[in-house]
Structure 1
Amino acid sequence: MAFFGLRAWPTPIVKPLWPFFIASGLTFYLVNKVQDMAVRSESTPDYAKDPRNPYAVQISKEHAAH
């Protein structure tokens, strides 16, 4: 007998979806790394010195140390 649409046996949720969990974690990690590299890039020095850039202080300290 179905009680609110629930069955007597458990419906597998994690087992068939594990590749999507792994792929989403990998995608999140890689997009985060690319975004961090783009923010700290030296190819756009105007943006590196822009006061609206939240990483401007860190970038200027890193470039001063080199």
Structure 2
Amino acid sequence: MAFLGLRKWPTPVLRPMAPFIAAAGITFFLVGKMQDMGIRSEEYAKDPRNPYAAQIAKESHH
């Protein structure tokens, strides 16, 4: 018998979603790393349109 629509045993949510959660975390991390590598590359590091150009130039002098 269901009480207010709740079953005796809850439906598993986290265990079946674990691979997707892990893949999302890995993807988020790798895309962030690729973006950081892209803005720090030689071609774009000195581009005036790069919003991080001043920060990159300041870090390179240290």
Measured against the shorter chain, the TM-score band is 0.7 to 0.9
Identity of aligned residues (%): 58
Structure 1 residue 3, shift from structure 2 partner: 4.6
User: 2:55: which partner in 1?
Assistant: 58
Runs of 4+ aligned residues of structure 1 deviating over 4 Å after TM superposition are none
Residue segments in structure 2 that go unaligned for 5+ positions in a row: none
AA aligned to 2:57 is: S
The CA RMSD measured in Å over matched residues stands at 2.1
Aligned residues: 62
Q: Tell me the TM-score normalised to structure 2 length.
A: 0.76
Structure 1 residue 5, shift from structure 2 partner: 3.8
Residue segments in structure 1 that go unaligned for 5+ positions in a row: none
Q: Tell me the TM-score normalised to structure 1 length.
A: 0.72
User: 2:23: which partner in 1?
Assistant: 23
